[in-house]
């Protein structure tokens, strides 16, 4: 049986570290909308500031450095049209909106809104804390239900395999639990610590049953029962691949939960324990930030004891089940033999640096195009462009390469600017692979060969 559940649903609002008083003045509906707009812009700016720091190993001295460094095209203003206040600090930064009145301090709509490298800096009001606790409790149940549904599929497949081998139906579902596969064995107890049951039906069909959070047959809402039938898994078994519409491994949010799960694994290797919540991945610099889905919903993290954990996405409806944008995702996959601690698939930092490098190449390509229009020829080398700052150096500290492209007659017809990837050497795979951008800004992966 599982140990007690530890749950964390992380939103940026939970990164609170500094107190401001609960608003004494009422806030109008237009100002509430402006506050929401301001927080959204500050979250995006904070992400870009962290990205700049990951690329340059330093926080920008001013917000304009984000534009100069090709991290973003413009610097927004807050919801009232005022410029943000920004300062770099030791190991971090502070980003501030002065509220509706544009002055330091204040309450209601005039209150300052502050952000730093860890998220929004504020203490929740009593009402917000109560609302958050209620939302955590609700999401905890839905996350556990997604886990239960995935585990029940694993148990159902084992039950089908047992019956197809010519054996009688077992008396209890636990009778077919593998003794030497801990991951699959976990799929016979639900997240609330109760054993799954199964019922045989007519025509060699069956249903695997979960009795909800209370573990008792019958009930409604959180105590309600739910089932996985033989038909739910037979097509999947016959095709030999995952076909559940509610879990699409190619979807963007499935990739996000896989990446966050990799972050948890990396944290476990470094700290010799599971994180208490996803925010620890950011605090320990395992991840630059904790994303939300495209609808602004949070990802859920649950852990059981010292080793077992899952990252879960509920889709845009924040409910188990569904298709398309409502599809769920969970990582690691229940029943898989990874025990949750494999090697991380893709280091997030290198992915971020590769994105920054492409943006740099695209900016250089625009400068090359302007040079060609003015001088009626392409530059012989990058030094001819008189690039400012370190824009001719990639995020890993290596110089970009440059070469002219010639047509069949040997005339220069264009050029390309080359990045040699994370290792700075020609060739390579993954983040070591070379890529280039031509004078029109078109990006090409040059080589994915393994190096000697």
CB within 8 Å of 333: residues ≥ 6 apart: 150
Percentage of the chain lying above the pLDDT 70 cut: 85
Q: What is the pLDDT of residues 235-266, one digit of tens each?
A: 666 655 444 434 444 456 788 888 899 999 99
CB within 8 Å of 300: residues ≥ 6 apart: 7, 8, 9, 139, 140, 142, 143, 311, 312, 313, 314
Q: Can you point out the beta strands (E) in 39-190? A: 85-89, 92-97, 113-116, 119-120
Per the DSSP assignment, residues forming a β-bridge with 88 are 93
CATH of 17-123, one of 3.20.19.10, 1.10.220.150, 3.30.700.10, 3.10.450.200: 3.30.700.10
Stretch 67-79: mean pLDDT: 93
Per the DSSP assignment, residues forming a β-bridge with 5 are 304
Can you tell me the distance from the alpha carbon of 292 to that of 312, in angstroms, rounded to the nearest whole number?
A: 12
Q: What is the pLDDT of residues 179-223, one digit of tens each?
A: 888 889 999 999 999 999 999 988 778 999 999 999 999 999 899
Q: Given the structure tokens 């807050």, which residue do they identify?
A: 78
Report residue 136 as tokens.
């955590």
DSSP secondary-structure letter at 349? Answer: H
Report residue 354 as tokens.
């590769």
Pairing, β 226-229 against β 206-210: antiparallel
Could you tell me if 353 and 320 are in contact, meaning their C-beta atoms sit under 8 angstroms apart? no
Burial of residue 30, with CB atoms counted within 10 A of its CB: 0-12 exposed, 13-18 middle, 19 or more buried: exposed
Burial of residue 73, with CB atoms counted within 10 A of its CB: 0-12 exposed, 13-18 middle, 19 or more buried: exposed
pTM tops 0.75, yes or no? no
Give me the phi and psi of 5, to 5 degrees please: -75, 135
How far are the Cα atoms of 47, 109, 140 from residue 300, in angstroms, in the given order? 20, 31, 8
Q: What is the pLDDT of residues 83-142, one digit of tens each?
A: 999 999 777 899 999 999 999 988 889 999 999 887 888 777 788 788 888 888 888 889
Q: What is the pLDDT of residues 409-444, one digit of tens each?
A: 889 999 999 998 887 888 777 777 889 999 988 888
Angle formed by the axes of helices 29-56 and 348-375, nearest 10°: 90
**Helix or strand or coil: residue 102?**
coil
């Amino acid at each position: 049986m599982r140990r007690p559940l530890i749950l964390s649903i992380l939103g940026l609002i939970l990164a609170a570290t500094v107190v401001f008083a609960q608003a004494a003045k009422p806030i109008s509906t237009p100002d509430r909308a402006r506050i929401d707009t301001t927080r959204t812009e500050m979250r995006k700016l904070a992400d870009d500031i962290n990205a700049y720091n990951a690329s340059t190993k330093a926080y920008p001295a001013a917000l304009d450095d984000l534009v100069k460094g090709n991290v973003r095209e413009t610097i927004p203003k807050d919801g009232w049209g005022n410029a943000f206040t920004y300062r770099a600090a030791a190991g971090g930064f502070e980003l501030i909106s002065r509220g509706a009145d544009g002055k330091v301090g204040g309450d209601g709509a005039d209150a300052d809104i502050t952000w730093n490298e860890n998220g929004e800096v504020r203490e929740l009001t009593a009402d917000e804390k109560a609302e958050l606790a209620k939302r955590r409790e609700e999401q905890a149940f839905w996350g556990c239900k997604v886990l239960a549904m995935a585990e029940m599929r694993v148990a159902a497949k084992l039950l089908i395999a047992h019956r197809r081998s010519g054996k009688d139906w077992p008396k209890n579902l636990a009778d077919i639990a593998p003794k030497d596969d801990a991951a699959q064995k976990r799929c016979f107890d639900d997240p609330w610590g109760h054993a799954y049951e199964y019922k045989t039906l007519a025509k060699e069909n069956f249903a695997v049953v979960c009795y909800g959070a209370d573990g008792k047959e019958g009930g409604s809402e959180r105590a309600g029962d739910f089932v996985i039938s033989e038909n739910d898994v037979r097509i999947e078994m016959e095709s030999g691949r995952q076909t559940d519409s509610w879990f699409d491994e190619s979807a963007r949010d499935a990739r996000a939960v896989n990446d966050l799960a990799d972050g948890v694994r990396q944290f476990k290797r470094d700290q010799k324990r599971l994180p208490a919540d996803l925010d620890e991945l950011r605090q320990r610099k395992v991840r630059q930030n904790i994303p939300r889905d495209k609808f602004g919903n949070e990802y859920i993290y649950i852990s059981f004891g010292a080793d077992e954990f899952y990252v879960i996405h509920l889709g845009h409806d924040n409910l188990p089940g569904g298709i398309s944008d409502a599809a769920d995702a969970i990582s690691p996959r229940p029943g898989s033999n990874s025990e949750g601690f494999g090697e991380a698939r893709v280091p997030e930092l290198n992915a971020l640096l590769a994105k920054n490098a492409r943006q740099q190449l695209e900016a250089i390509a625009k400068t090359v195009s302007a040079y060609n229009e003015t001088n009626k020829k392409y530059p012989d080398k990058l030094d001819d462009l008189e690039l400012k700052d370190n824009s001719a150096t990639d995020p890993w500290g290596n110089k970009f390469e440059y070469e002219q492209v010639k047509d069949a007659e040997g005339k220069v017809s264009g050029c390309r600017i080359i990045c040699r990837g994370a290792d700075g050497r020609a060739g390579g795979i993954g983040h070591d692979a070379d890529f280039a951008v031509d004078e029109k800004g078109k990006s090409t992966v040059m080589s994915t060969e393994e190096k000697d």
